[in-house]
Amino acid sequence: FPVLADRAHQRAGLLSGGEQQMLAMGRALMAGPRLLLLDEPSLGLAPLMAARIAETVQEINAGGTSVMLVEQNAAIALRLASTAYVLDVGEVALSGPADELAASDEVRRRYLGVVDEDAAADADPAARTRRTLSRWSA
């Protein structure tokens, strides 16, 4: 975390939100864990800082540390994960390879806010309800 080197003499409470997240991850990594649990690391961060945190998580994982990420920002979570679990009202609604979930029209519509306007205009309402993922009840 080179950014933190510049802030070595600054109190943790005076760091930005992203810097505080980096500090928390750094402290956890000092123990040399095989698994790092992260709960909402992008919460409350500006998009640029959230992207930096995501890059850091990727680097940690590439370095051999497994990462379990709980993240409300589905776009970030699906980009970082190899396997994903989608929770709906506290229960696992769907699970599988993250790239497959990210490519799913239903996941994109429900959690990523992506709507294929052309497909939506062409599809009749009955066809749209039949194409929902089997683990969900609408």
Instruction: Confirm whether pTM is higher than 0.85.
Output: no
Residue type, 101: L
Q: What is the pLDDT of residue 39?
A: 93
Q: Which three-class secondary structure string do you get for 31-87?
A: CCCCEEEEECCCCCCCHHHHHHHHHHHHHHHHCCCEEEEECCCHHHHHHHCCEEEEE
**Percent of the chain whose predicted confidence (pLDDT) is above 70:** 83
Q: What is the pLDDT of residue 118?
A: 55
Domain ranges of the chain: 1-70, 73-117
pLDDT-derived band at 133 (thresholds 50, 70, 90) equals low
Question: Do residues 81 and 98 lie in contact, with contact meaning Cβ atoms separated by under 8 Å?
Answer: yes
Q: What is the pLDDT of residue 4?
A: 84
pLDDT digits (tens, 9 = 90+) for 72-117: 888 899 999 999 998 888 899 889 999 999 888 888 888 777 766 5
Residue whose entry in the numeric block shows the structure tokens 């776009």 = 75
Q: What is the pLDDT of residue 128?
A: 45
Q: What is the mean pLDDT of the chain?
A: 82
